[in-house]
Structure 1
Amino acid sequence: MTVIEDSFTNWKNREEIAESMIPIIGKLHRERDVTVLLHSRSLVNKSVVSILKTHRFARQIAGEELSVTDTLPFLQALTTLDLGPSQIDIGMLAATYKTDDRGLSVEEFTAEAVAGATGANKIERREPRDVVLYGFGRIGRLVARLLIEKAGSGNGLRLRAIVVRGGGDQDIVKRASLLRRDSIHGQFQGTITVDEADSTIIANGNAIKVIYANDPTEVDYTAYGIKNAILIDNTGKWRDREGLSNHLRPGIDKVVLTAPGKGDVPNIVHGVNHDTIKPDEQILSCASCTTNAIVPPLKAMADEYGVLRGHVETVHSFTNDQNLLDNYHKADRRGRSAPLNMVITETGAASAVAKALPDLKAKITGSSIRVPVPDVSIAILNLQLARGTTREEVLDHLRNVSLTSPLKRQIDFITAPDAVSSDFIGSRHASIIDAGATKVEGDNAILYLWYDNEFGYSCQVIRVVQHVSGVEYPTYPAPAV
């Protein structure tokens, strides 16, 4: 009975601490444009239980205890500092403080660790950058959710408009309803109202104009007060520079494609090659969801072990490109019923690796099987390494990469022995390494990489847009290189 009472008392105490963290996190975000993270997971707008679950998951992958009692002092220390816009990882602060032997107080250590975001070093808050969505399908609506979520500080990215083709009576009402409720990703977190007369959706106070057009050249965005905007094309209709250039209308400064680009269009995987984007580049691609899933772990393995060759097999959820029931389709096999069959098809992800990792000389091949699940896929990456290693060494390396490296927002790591695809719906990482499934023998390593091909990919798109817009704020403590 004592054990039960002690356990429940401990839970209630941690609940109370987590509850006290919420207003601190919210105030830092609204007033100073500071996003509080816990091992790369945002704690902004999270519930008490969500904060506690994030702490528990973080200590599972870190291999050591981490509790709200450990992180609260660092959060409180942040409130005493003259902070500028930034992302601050209190999980990393707590973890690095434990290994520091200089005898500093929490306040002294925190001030030193985030010095780049304080006082004379802090950067100025950016003016909001206008964003336009061209198309409003699966990726478009998830990107919209993320843009609305990140507008809480009043700075950064601001979703101004959505461009779609007219769909008849109550078109805007139906589109708002699809934004409000999603069969896979659940309810929209907030409130949505519709002003049909003004063709506007108001989501959490964000007024989003719905513009009807059949072609990019029909729209003058300046007529809606939109200027210097980043347009995100999630239709996939145009993939080369010539086609995408049609979006560069008055009011639009840059175009970001949510599909693999063709020709000389740069394919960007955030965390890997986003720093190669030229300031004057107006057109770029975020590659594919599968490319984003395999390139970060591939880079992590190549940097540590070298990679001579590899093959990726993606087991991919079905998409809108396939048919619900057997019907004509221009591609082989894709005409067969998506929810009833496994369908062998091609993937361009392997060939896209060369654009994201030009220094990797290894030949990477790939193929794909579409399967009857609506979301979350898995990529099986089979690599021949340049040197022999062990399973334990590879797992330790990838766990550390997921926690402390510049790739920690792209790569997640899980040790749960009974994890299945639905567990990763809503993951914000580009890919999640399944430790239990990993196989290593000498110079051969086989990695199983889960990824939410809808939401995780949408998060990568937003990261690229933040980078090119200049509102991707630095993270502290700085990741290990």
Structure 2
Amino acid sequence: MTVNDDSFTSWKNREEIAESMIPIIGKLHREQDVTVLVHSRSLVNKSVVSILKTHRFARQIAGEELSVTETLPFLQTLTTLDLGPSQIDIGMLAAEYKADSRGLTVEEFTADAVAGATGANKIERRDGRDVVLYGFGRIGRLVARLLIEKAGSGNGLRLRAIVVRGGGEADLVKRASLLRRDSIHGQFQGTITVDEANSTIVANGNTIKVIYANDPSEVDYTAYGIENAILIDNTGKWRDREGLSKHLRPGIDKVVLTAPGKGDVPNIVHGVNHDTIKPDEQILSCASCTTNAIVPPLKAMDDEYGVLRGHVETVHSFTNDQNLLDNYHKADRRGRSAPLNMVITETGAASAVAKALPELKAPITGSSIRVPVPDVSIAILSLRLGRETTRDEVLEYLRDVSLHSPLKRQIDFTTAPDAVSMDFVGSRHASIVDAGATKVAATTRSCTCVRQRVRLLVPGHPRRPARPRASSTRPSPAPAV
């Protein structure tokens, strides 16, 4: 047998193992609300090849490739445990098992590692939480995709309705078509049908009521059977407490804004200051895409090295706020053709840092330029640190943060030498540290290049849709994400 034959036989064996993992992952997700991950990347609803690629990607952040033969025993063991809602990283389980010196079996080690989500410690499953999308533009449609994808057993967040202004003929069909196909993020993974008579879109079994209204005051959500819902405003029309309070109508309990909030509206960057949310707070902002990209690595660097001052230069994809061709615009420069120009514009990211990370006392300045790409932005952080360091030390620290810290769901890490913006379309991380673009000078000034998936973050507004969360957060067991 040749070497090529050996490689192909190995590939087929791994395909077979990955194929056997799919029903296990799906059953855990549907029946027990358990999300299985590998180094913070969800395996739910993933194909055989996607599962294999996710395992292989581990070599970029953990230093060596992870095999499905290593993780399968941990996955199989999870099916024997009395698990409650949780997120469990089998990649981390495999890595920690290798380093464990207690001589435990896989079954014993796994049971001990996830004990916080089993038996008497587990969170009991509860009824689902209704979600309403106010607006159905680029961000709204991507949030819809995420909610539908993560519907699981139906005991989590459930998309019940979207609110839009009345359109013309075949309005519902056209909106469903935009959900079905996206020029950047590709085809919707599933089936979509339209019921024009009842004004509903059914996506992967989720019945979504389409409500037509020109103002929040026109809607009584209880009339549609919606109660205690989270409303996600992705229009950006109202950004202060007074305006967003208009959404607190019958049936709505909380309002989440997918743009930076103004005034006293809390700007929340998950992983950084989500623990400051007061239980009775009804109005929240998920801040901006750039804020979500820079605040997690800023916090990480400040925690370890101390940041004395910094500047963020954002190279940002163009948005729907700009014109396709030169035309009048109320803002300076944004009236010039977005696909043809680099456009200098303002950014509120630097000032937003103070709201999301008030303990960072260092002055942070910022500037931004829009460029002719439809998605993904680059934020270049130039930081003067409080102590001397080296490039290797900084990279090893940030790699560890992406793997083991509380920020591992926010920060990703890549060592790919030829990485470019399109490689990060669809990333679920708020920021990705580009190892090859990181520099450290003798003056203790560190320039860290952070790539952000702007999203979708999203169309029109390249930002990552906020992960809407219910009032209480599911706990993650020890090696879980």
What TM-score do you get using the length of structure 2 for normalisation? 0.97
SS at match of 1:347: coil
Superposition pairs of residues 142-153 of structure 1, within 5 angstroms: 142-153=142-153
The answer as to 2:458 corresponding to 1:475 is: no
Query: Do 2:55 and 2:65's aligned partners in 1 also have CA atoms closer than 8 Å?
Result: no
Query: Do 1:433 and 1:450's aligned partners in 2 also have CA atoms closer than 8 Å?
Result: yes
- Structure 2 distance, partners of 1:209, 1:65, is 45
SS at match of 1:445: strand
Query: Do 1:83 and 1:118's aligned partners in 2 also have CA atoms closer than 8 Å?
Result: yes
Shift of 1:456: 3.9
Shift of 1:455: 1.6
CA RMSD in angstroms comes to 1.3
1:186-235 CA distance string (max 9 Å, x none): 00000000000110000001000000001001100010000000000000
- Structure 2 distance, partners of 1:461, 1:176, is 19
Query: Do 2:289 and 2:463's aligned partners in 1 also have CA atoms closer than 8 Å?
Result: no
- Structure 2 distance, partners of 1:455, 1:46, is 19
SS at match of 1:162: strand
Query: Do 2:89 and 2:480's aligned partners in 1 also have CA atoms closer than 8 Å?
Result: no
The answer as to 2:51 corresponding to 1:51 is: yes
- Structure 1 distance, partners of 2:457, 2:299, is 18
- Structure 1 distance, partners of 2:214, 2:297, is 40
Question: Residue type matched to 1:469 in 2?
Answer: S
Query: Do 1:316 and 1:369's aligned partners in 2 also have CA atoms closer than 8 Å?
Result: yes
- Structure 2 distance, partners of 1:305, 1:332, is 38
Shift of 1:29: 0.7
Q: Matched residues, percent identical?
A: 85
- Structure 1 distance, partners of 2:131, 2:80, is 34
- Structure 1 distance, partners of 2:73, 2:276, is 38
Task: Indicate the residue corresponding to 1:124 in structure 2.
Answer: 124
Query: Do 2:333 and 2:344's aligned partners in 1 also have CA atoms closer than 8 Å?
Result: yes
SS at match of 1:336: coil
Question: Residue type matched to 1:437 in 2?
Answer: A
- Structure 1 distance, partners of 2:210, 2:406, is 37
Task: Indicate the residue corresponding to 1:248 in structure 2.
Answer: 248
- Structure 2 distance, partners of 1:183, 1:80, is 42
Task: Indicate the residue corresponding to 2:445 in structure 1.
Answer: 444
Query: Do 1:378 and 1:448's aligned partners in 2 also have CA atoms closer than 8 Å?
Result: yes
1:73-110 CA distance string (max 9 Å, x none): 10011111111111110000001111111101100000
- Structure 1 distance, partners of 2:465, 2:272, is 13
- Structure 2 distance, partners of 1:274, 1:434, is 25
Shift of 1:165: 0.3
- Structure 1 distance, partners of 2:436, 2:126, is 43
- Check 1:328–1:460 CA distance in 2 against 1; reply closer, same or farther (3 A cut): closer
Query: Do 2:454 and 2:464's aligned partners in 1 also have CA atoms closer than 8 Å?
Result: no
- Structure 2 distance, partners of 1:462, 1:292, is 10
- Structure 2 distance, partners of 1:253, 1:82, is 32
- Structure 1 distance, partners of 2:154, 2:65, is 35
- Structure 2 distance, partners of 1:14, 1:402, is 26
Task: Indicate the residue corresponding to 2:376 in structure 1.
Answer: 376
Query: Do 1:405 and 1:479's aligned partners in 2 also have CA atoms closer than 8 Å?
Result: no
Shift of 1:112: 0.2
- Check 1:288–1:353 CA distance in 2 against 1; reply closer, same or farther (3 A cut): same
1:118-146 CA distance string (max 9 Å, x none): 11111101210000000001100000000
SS at match of 2:338: coil
- Structure 2 distance, partners of 1:390, 1:479, is 31
Question: Residue type matched to 1:331 in 2?
Answer: A
Shift of 1:25: 0.5
Task: Indicate the residue corresponding to 1:227 in structure 2.
Answer: 227
Task: Indicate the residue corresponding to 2:209 in structure 1.
Answer: 209
Query: Do 1:269 and 1:460's aligned partners in 2 also have CA atoms closer than 8 Å?
Result: no
Higher relative contact order (CA 8 A, sep 6+): 2
Shift of 1:479: 6.6
Task: Indicate the residue corresponding to 1:113 in structure 2.
Answer: 113
SS at match of 2:441: strand
The answer as to 2:371 corresponding to 1:358 is: no
For structure 1, list consecutive stretches of 5 or more residues without a partner in the other structure.
none
Question: Residue type matched to 2:475 in 1?
Answer: P
Question: Residue type matched to 1:312 in 2?
Answer: V
- Check 1:297–1:95 CA distance in 2 against 1; reply closer, same or farther (3 A cut): same
Question: Residue type matched to 1:477 in 2?
Answer: A
Query: Do 2:84 and 2:117's aligned partners in 1 also have CA atoms closer than 8 Å?
Result: yes
1:229-280 CA distance string (max 9 Å, x none): 0000000000000000000000000000000000000000001000100000
1:284-311 CA distance string (max 9 Å, x none): 1000000000000000100000000000
Task: Indicate the residue corresponding to 1:278 in structure 2.
Answer: 278
Shift of 1:10: 0.8
What TM-score do you get using the length of structure 1 for normalisation? 0.97
Shift of 1:175: 0.4
Shift of 1:4: 0.8
